[in-house]
Structure 1
Amino acid sequence: MEKLHRKKEYLDEIDVLKAIGIILVVIGHSFPDASAASGISSVFGKMIYNIIYSFHMPAFVFASGIVSYNFYQTIYEKQCAIRKRAIRLLIPYFVWGIVYIPFRIILNGFASEAFRINQIWRIFIGDNPYSGLWFLYTLFLISLLHILIIDNDKRLMLLFGISIIGIVINEVIAIVEPIKWIIAYSFYYFGGLVFKKNYSFLKKFFEKKIVRIMLVFLFGNMFVIKMKLQSNGLYFFNILPAVCGVLMLYSFSCLLKENKILRKMGTY
């Protein structure tokens, strides 16, 4: 069989974006009272937490879309791509989920929700004992849509358009997991594919200082509106601050792409 030999363009700014994203994840998980019923007690800490959680996961999925840009034409190409994604995403998803089970059982008394061994089957529908691994499961399923359906620009734009409709619907209608995750993050993944399709032009645009300043301003305003709405019990204004935050992070990643520490962190 013919083997795939496609040399991919290496993007230092995406390594930097991943590194900053990793730092944000660590900070976001460093508030000891984040899961308490009363929430984070520090006003400043709560603001930082909410800022991070408004865009950091969409940024990871967006970056995944950028580096995954490809059209798979033949059955063999699709098989190779699916196998590669399964090795990278599903193996750690299942292995770490199973390794985590004994610890979940031993520490049930300290968990907000007790784990029951008869629920292990739920790992196949995205409900992993190690709950943080939902990201791997979701990314694999979104990747399947990419590999199996998108084989030309027309289909890419069609799925991107559908994902826009889906994420809007997802904002106002309660949808069961993991379908909810797939709908919520397909928009950012397919957006990353579209971004990579027009990468030369878009990169030059987002490298401009004035664009970076505008994105900071837009994100700040969108974030304030989001928090104002949430304080009034309205939880549907998440898309615009997330998009602004993702593009803002990308713009700063282009600025910092020569930083060797961030590049090394993102690489590994």
Structure 2
Amino acid sequence: MKTDMKKHIYKYDVIRIVLTVLVVIGHANYYNAGNAYGGIYIADQLSAAGIADTVFHGFVEQIKQLIYTFHMPAFFALSGTLFYGQMKSERFSSAVEVIKNKATRLIVPFVLVYLFWNTPVKIVSGYYSKSTNIWKDILMQMLIPTNMYLWYLEALFFDFVLAYLL
């Protein structure tokens, strides 16, 4: 039995905003971002040019390390809490309905952002400099999203489906 009655909990919005700001702070502090496909190595270029790191960057790096100890587990906990509320209110009547809903909300944005933002930025910036087959590497990063910020959407999709099935 589905119920259309929604109870909005504003403290969850505040938690989401704070966690989002922490993610931005953490990701904005990367000087090097590389993997087997290539990368961007700003710190290496600064060092090669004889430019020392700033005190501010070192301070923010320490904050980033702290943020990384909890921000993604906190996002998963918040998402799980909200999903539990949906399950409790019988929002979904079948696994197929969960898959359709979560694919529309998570996988479609993942694919669109990856193809039309992430990929062009990486190609233009020379990220795939070590790649012998860029399109194969792009597909592999979409299927197994390592060292990229969009991994969360795929992981959350599979977590929701698994949680429903269990």
TM above 0.5, yes or no, is yes
Find 2:125's aligned residue among 107, 113, 138.
Answer: 107
Specify the SS of the correspondent of 1:45.
Answer: helix
1:200-211 equivalent positions in 2, closer than 5 A = none
Name whichever structure is richer in strand by fraction: 2
Give the residue type in structure 2 aligned to 1:91.
V
Shift of 1:125: 2.5
Distance in 1 (alpha carbons) for counterparts of 2:130 and 2:68: 22
1:107-186 equivalent positions in 2, closer than 5 A = 107-108=125-126, 114=131, 116-123=134-141, 125-127=143-145, 131-149=148-166
Go from structure 1 to structure 2 and tell me whether the alpha carbon gap of 1:48 and 1:111 turns closer, same or farther (over 3 Å shift).
farther
Give the residue type in structure 1 aligned to 2:16.
K
Give the residue type in structure 1 aligned to 2:61.
K
Q: Which runs of 5+ in 1 are unaligned?
A: 150-268
Shift of 1:6: 4.6
The reply to whether residue 51 of structure 1 matches residue 51 of structure 2 is no
Distance in 2 (alpha carbons) for counterparts of 1:72 and 1:116: 45
Q: What TM-score, normalized by structure 1, do the two folds share?
A: 0.46
Find 1:25's aligned residue among 19, 23, 26.
Answer: 23
Specify the SS of the correspondent of 1:131.
Answer: coil
Runs of 4+ in 1 over 6 A off after TM superposition: none
1:1-268 equivalent positions in 2, closer than 5 A = 4-31=2-29, 33=31, 35=33, 36=43, 42=55, 43-69=58-84, 70=87, 76-99=93-116, 100-108=118-126, 114=131, 116-123=134-141, 125-127=143-145, 131-149=148-166
Count of residues in Structure 1 that have an aligned counterpart in Structure 2: 143
Go from structure 1 to structure 2 and tell me whether the alpha carbon gap of 1:32 and 1:98 turns closer, same or farther (over 3 Å shift).
closer
Q: What TM-score, normalized by structure 2, do the two folds share?
A: 0.70
Go from structure 1 to structure 2 and tell me whether the alpha carbon gap of 1:4 and 1:47 turns closer, same or farther (over 3 Å shift).
same
Specify the SS of the correspondent of 1:18.
Answer: helix
Distance in 2 (alpha carbons) for counterparts of 1:124 and 1:24: 24
Q: Percent identity?
A: 28
Name whichever structure is richer in helix by fraction: 1
Q: Which runs of 5+ in 2 are unaligned?
A: 34-42, 48-52
Contact kept, 8 Å, 1:4 with 1:77, in 2: the verdict is no
Go from structure 1 to structure 2 and tell me whether the alpha carbon gap of 1:127 and 1:63 turns closer, same or farther (over 3 Å shift).
same
